Amino acid sequence: MIDVSRSKFEELVAEALDLIPPDLAKVMDNVVVVVVDDPPETGLLGLYTGIPLTERGEWYSGVLPDRIEIYRNPTLAICETEADVVEEVQITVVHEIAHHFGIDDDRLHDLGW
């Protein structure tokens, strides 16, 4: 396990978000990404909670933002180097953003994520 400060980990998440292609980033709507130290259940590196873009209809307005949580401690627990952390954060951010776009775990698995 490697130790990465919370502020550095937050920077890595921000850098991963900056890697999202601009055309996709423009489409993201009403979503917040936060770093949380520990997940609500073991085995999670990230979690998307909300209403995916593909399920929103005319009724969608005035709702709280969707939430993407990236979990610091479990990520650090599976990494040995800072390069490992960078890679795992990038993978987790992409995975959770895919859920925002309505892509489920089975499809992500089929796509190699």
Task: Kindly report, residue by residue over 63-89, the tens digit of the pLDDT.
Answer: 999 999 999 999 999 999 999 999 999
- pLDDT by residue (tens digit) across 24-55? 999 999 999 999 999 999 999 999 999 999 99
Handedness of CA 108, 110, 111, 113 (dihedral sign): positive
Q: Where are the domains of the chain?
A: 6-52+64-111
Instruction: Sort 49 into a burial class: Cβ within 10 Å, 0-12 / 13-18 / 19+.
Output: middle
Question: What region, left, alpha or beta, does residue 107 occupy, with left being phi > 0 and alpha being psi -120 to 50 degrees?
Answer: alpha
Rg (CA), the chain: 14
Predicted confidence at residue 36, as pLDDT, reads 98
Question: Into which CATH architecture does domain 6-52+64-111 fall?
Answer: 2-Layer Sandwich (3.30)
Predicted confidence at residue 67, as pLDDT, reads 98
- Say how far apart CA 73 and CA 63 lie, in whole Å: 30
